[in-house]
Amino acid sequence: MSLPGEIKRRIQMLFHRNQLSRDLEDEMRLHLDLRRQQQLDRGLTESAAARTAHLTFGNTARIKEKSPMTWGSETLESFFADVAYGTRALFRSPALTVVALLSLALGIGAHAAIFSLLDAVMLRSLPVKDPQQLVLFGEGHMRGIGDDVALTQLFSNPFFRQFRQHNTVFSDVAGIFSRTNEVHGFVEGDNEPQPITAQVITGNYFPLLGVHAYIGRTLIDADDNSEGDHPVAVVSYAWWERGLAQDPNVLGKKIKARLGHLLHRRRRSARVLRHHRRRSSTGLGSPRAN
């Protein structure tokens, strides 16, 4: 009915609590004084009049408690008192508290970790241009090699070329996951082999995704148009950070890896180059023509 008005007045009451409390005291005092005066006029003594006034009025403190103003603050104050009591109780039995806290911490930590992982892997869009317009043919499991007949998830190079030529639907098509290898390779200047995850991709992969290099350049189509001529690779930011210690002179360094040949390492792409299946698993992207 007049509920909004009532709510507004209640909120106003919260804000002017102190003033309203003083007002109430004034009112009650006036009432007591008038009552006392009335009794005096009837002939009672001072003390008897005062006593009668208070008796008829009732218990001031209890009446103030019943007033609607105290309701809000009462709840809040009792809440804080309860919290303080609970905290004291916790301190009284420290062993129990520690165990409980540890369990909570483990549980919350585990959940947070799992969620961040899933968030990065599944929930976040790919940090590329227009991720919702990307389409993956198949599931990306095949890694370039398959023996089965009638594979629907693995596409040969001729197929890819034909598709690209006659493509009328997509803005472009790139080949990925052609041979994803976990190899050990040598970076020029290091004597220790390093684990590298390398992936063979077509030259138009980076332009298609709109991904730019952090230093140097990414692969382009021209890197991919003749066999054996372009021993170049793109290094992911993550590997550059971890495995190559953010070496600023990394461009032009040679990597030797079991992909079968020496590669110039070139440019890295921004930390963007994240596999959409595993976090930074691909360290190296090398054009298919190699």
Residue ranges in contact with another protein by CB under 8 A: 1-2, 5-6, 9-10, 13, 23-24, 26-28, 30-31, 33-35, 52, 55-60, 63, 66-69
DSSP labels, 188-207: TT-SS-EEEEEEEE-TTHHH
The minimum distance between CB 71 and another protein, in angstroms, equals 10
Q: Give how far the C-alpha of residue 65 lies from the chain's centroid of Cα atoms, to the nearest Å.
A: 47
Please name every residue paired with 232 in a beta bridge, in sequence order, or none if there are none: 264
What is the b/e burial string over 195-217, where b = at least 16 CB atoms within 10 angstroms of the residue's CB?
Answer: ebbbbbbbbbbbbbbebebbbbb
Tell me how far, at minimum, the Cβ of 35 lies from another protein, in Å. 7
Residue 76 Cβ vs another protein, minimum distance, rounded to whole Å: 18
Radius of gyration, alpha carbons of the chain:
39
Distance in Å, CB of 61 to another protein, minimum? 10
Three-class secondary structure of residue 21 per DSSP: helix
Please give the Cα distance from 244 to 242 (Å, whole number).
6
In one-letter notation, the amino acid at residue 229 is D
CB of 74 to another protein, least distance (A): 13
Smaller CB distance to another protein: residue 43 or 248? Answer: 43
Residue 10 Cβ vs another protein, minimum distance, rounded to whole Å: 6
The answer to whether residues 253 and 260 touch, using CB atoms and an 8 Å cutoff, is no
Taking the least distance from each CB to another protein, the nearer of 69 and 255 is 69
**Which residues, listed in sequence order, are joined to residue 235 by a DSSP beta bridge?**
268, 284
Q: Which is nearer to another protein, 51 or 217 (CB)?
A: 51
What is the rounded CA–CA span in Å between residue 53 and residue 46?
Answer: 11
Element (H, E) at 180: strand 178-187
Q: Which is nearer to another protein, 64 or 271 (CB)?
A: 64
Name which of 14 and 222 has its Cβ closer to another protein: 14
By residue count, the chain amounts to 290
| Of 8 and 161, CB closest to another protein | 8
**Of the two residues 45 and 67, which places its CB atom closer to another protein in the complex?**
67
How many Å apart are CA 137 and CA 158, to the nearest integer? 16
Within 10 Å of residue 230's Cβ, how many Cβ atoms? Answer: 21
Least distance between another protein and beta carbon 64 (Å): 8
